[in-house]
């Protein structure tokens, strides 16, 4: 068995540690709340749990 259902084996890649400070690299889902991170795509962020989608706007200068 590969682990319990719903656990993410790569959760440590969502954080960055600098000295005593820990910062998140991915955005949390607004609908689901704590512990649910949004996946990063080329032009959008999506939540795998509630399918909420945020589109990333490009600034064309």
Distances (CA, A) of 52 to 11, 21, 41: 20, 29, 13
Please give the average per-residue pLDDT across 34-48, as a whole number: 91
2 in a structural domain:
no
43 in a structural domain:
yes
Q: Give pTM, 2 decimals.
A: 0.64
Please give the average per-residue pLDDT across 11-40, as a whole number: 89
13 in a structural domain:
no
51 in a structural domain:
yes
Please say if the pLDDT value at position 30 is more than 60. yes
Please state the domain count of the chain: 1
| Containing structural domain, residue 45 | 27-61
Cβ pair 53, 44 in contact under 8 A = yes
58 in a structural domain:
yes
């Amino acid at each position: 068995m590969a682990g319990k259902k719903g656990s993410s084996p790569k959760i440590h890649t969502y954080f960055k540690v600098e000295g005593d400070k820990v910062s998140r690299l991915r955005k949390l889902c607004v609908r689901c709340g704590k512990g649910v991170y949004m996946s990063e795509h080329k032009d959008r962020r999506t939540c795998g749990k509630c399918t909420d989608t945020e589109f990333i706007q490009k600034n064309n200068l």
